[in-house]
A and B are shown apart, each in its own frame.
Chain A
């Protein structure tokens, strides 16, 4: 069945697609002279998405200062364009692959915990190293393993087998996938990112986050690579992946160092302790999202 898994997924006609508005927002955001008006008008095309984004902007996670945010225009002014794009992406993605009904142990929930943790950790590192990824680091973290969720959805049994394999042999998940499924979540994720016409850096992150030296967007891919490891070290892992690692020996670490980012000034111990509370941040983020879900369905 080797390489047939990839072919099968490629040939599935009704693979989930990203809502068109989300795609449009993302491509708008790449234009250098994008206006607040054009972004908010774009989101308003999808009224339920607009409502969710507003609710998210008003949630404890994003809310800055007092007073309700009642228009997208105001939301963008208050919490920034990048965050609005983050929210639009998160809300859209999570509506395609909902994290489930709050069961902490469900595979889907573990998946999103890992991806949100990766995004949030990437955001912390971005700040520490002054990388100025402008919110791309959060979206990158959120979407870096999207191939896994597709593998789990269409090849559930084989994917479970790969998870068991990774635990037994104590090897990284992508090696187990290669062994069991003949493809990896990186290949599938890359395929999906291209099919969805996501920005190039997201396709790049999907394909290369476990070996960033081959990436085109080396800095953001390396950033996600490190955030991914740290998320796992905080036990936000999905599948086996209980590996230990030396950060300073990682490909991603060397790349960032070579590119001139001050990685050697980072107090890794302190940073690791700081992200111990990442679990609370993840909970608060998922909580905010499901709050918006709940209210949405209550309104219907």
Chain B
């Protein structure tokens, strides 16, 4: 039976190999595939099997573990196990809370202190929709005063492939579906059927590849006023979540805010933040 299948269909992942791969991925990224997600991992990695011309998942595991080229394959693996479904102005009530409450509060405080510096971070920025959205919102709030401010928005992701799209900053109509028409007109240049983010916004955003498991480098991300880390924690198990969220807490300035995905919760993860109810959305404040 099995033999017949393998000749046509891709090979199956044994429970043992699943565990080996799962632990390997966890160790290198914090991304955790529970037993229930075996099929999901199998589906994602089937593409990598084909790409690497390897016959079965055991061989793939040995490639990752022992091959000198493993680093390169690891990056491709990250590309394929992180899903990149994002869009501009995703979860509008969250963006609105960011725009109407969190950001003005921080800007006012900074102005009072006489230092017009803003540091924002889109952690897990995927194809860039989020950091550019943050840039557009910041510009909308500051208008011409933007020039007097030192604004830097970091976008980081584990997937090189996603970052490549982020750098291109060119998007489909569909990705822009939640963007108000006047914003679309102001901040995007139509190129054939695509839309490119204008340079004024692009230059606010700094993109970089970052593995959240690389605690040394994550620790260097300091002094942020607002961090968006939406739909990233879902990839981690509780231990990795706790580690990472407490790191994010340290990455924030006092008075800063963390936004996680709509319907994600830090309830059992961290008690360090204050839960803030914004109109229609939740935020976490570092006091």
B234 close to A (CB within 8 Å) = no
Bound Cα distance A234, B279 (Å): 6
Cβ–Cβ < 8 Å partners of B278 in chain A: 233, 244
Nearest residue (CB) in B for A233 is B277
Please give me the residue from chain B that is nearest to A269 by CB atom. B265
Which residues of chain B are within 8 angstroms of A232 by Cβ–Cβ distance? 279
Hey, which bits of chain A sit against chain B, CB under 8 A? 229-230, 232-235, 237, 242-249, 267-270, 272-273
A246 touching B276 in the complex, CB below 8 Å, given contacts A267-B267, A270-B267: yes
Inter-chain contact B267/A268, CB cutoff 8 Å? yes
Separation in Å of the B207 CB from the closest CB of chain A? 30
Q: How far is the CA of A40 from the CA of B278 in the complex (A)?
A: 44
Q: Considering the complex, which residues of chain B in the window 62-118 have a beta carbon less than 8 Å from any beta carbon of chain A?
A: 93, 97, 100-101
Q: How far is the CA of A208 from the CA of B263 in the complex (A)?
A: 32
Q: Please tell me if B274 contacts chain A, counting CB pairs below 8 Å.
A: yes
Q: Which residues of A contact B275 (CB under 8 A)?
A: 246-248, 268-269
Question: How many residues in B have their beta carbons less than 8 Å from beta carbons of A?
Answer: 18
Are the CB atoms of A233 and B280 closer together than 8 Å? Answer: yes
Asked if A272 and B267 make an inter-chain contact with CB atoms under 8 angstroms apart, the answer reads: no
Task: Report whether A244 and B97 are in contact in the complex, using a CB–CB cutoff of 8 Å.
Answer: yes
| B276 CB contacts on chain A under 8 angstroms | 244-246
A235 touches B265 (CB 8 A): no
Residues of B within 8 A of A273 (CB): 263, 265
Q: In the complex, what's the smallest C-beta–C-beta distance from B173 to chain A, in angstroms? A: 28
List 10 interface pairs A-B (beta carbons < 8 Å), by A numbering. Answer: A232-B279, A233-B280, A242-B100, A242-B279, A244-B277, A245-B277, A246-B285, A269-B267, A269-B282, A270-B267
* A264 to B, closest residue via Cβ: B271
Q: Decide: B263 and A246 in contact? CB cutoff 8 A.
A: no
The CA-CA distance from A249 to B287 in the complex, in Å, is 12
| Chain A residue, CB-CB nearest to B287 | A246
- A235 CB contact (under 8 Å) in B266, B274, B279, B283: B279
Is A233 within 8 A of B274, CB to CB?
no
How long is the Cα–Cα vector from A245 to B276 in the complex, in angstroms? 6
> Complex formed: what's the CA distance from A247 to B100 in Å?
19
Known A267-B265, A267-B267; contact A229-B277, beta-carbon cutoff 8 A: yes
Alpha-carbon gap, A246 to B276, bound state (A): 5
Instruction: Pick from B263, B266, B267, B274: contact of A248, CB below 8 A.
Output: B274
Name the residue on A nearest B102 (C-beta). Answer: A244
Q: In the complex, A244 Cα to B283 Cα: how many Å?
A: 10
Instruction: Specify which of B263, B266, B279 is in contact with A244 (CB 8 Å cutoff).
Output: B279
Cα–Cα distance between A247 and B97 once the two chains are bound (Å): 17
Shortest Cβ distance from residue B279 to the other chain A in the assembled complex, whole angstroms:
5
Chain A residues in 8 Å Cβ range of B280: 233-235
A230 and B278 CA atoms in complex are apart in Å by 10
Docked Cα-Cα span, A245 to B285, in Å, equals: 11
Interface centre among B275, B276, B277 (most CB of A within 10 A): B277
Min distance, Cβ B262 to any Cβ of chain A, angstroms: 9
Residues of B within 8 A of A246 (CB): 274-277, 285
| B22 CB to nearest A CB, Å | 27
- Expressed in whole angstroms, the Cα–Cα distance for A230 and B93 within the complex equals 15
**9 pairs of A and B residues whose beta carbons are closest in the complex:** A269-B265, A233-B277, A244-B278, A242-B279, A267-B267, A269-B267, A246-B274, A244-B101, A235-B280
Q: How far is the CA of A233 from the CA of B283 in the complex (A)?
A: 12
Contacts of B160-193 to chain A: CB distance below 8 A: none
- A247 touching B267 in the complex, CB below 8 Å, given contacts A269-B282, A272-B282: no
Q: Determine the chain A residues whose CB is within 8 A of the CB of B274 once the complex forms.
A: 246, 248-249
Given A242-B100, A244-B279, A248-B275: 18 more A-B contacts, CB < 8 Å: A233-B280, A234-B280, A235-B93, A235-B279, A235-B280, A244-B101, A244-B277, A245-B276, A246-B274, A246-B277, A246-B285, A267-B265, A267-B267, A268-B267, A268-B275, A269-B265, A269-B266, A269-B275
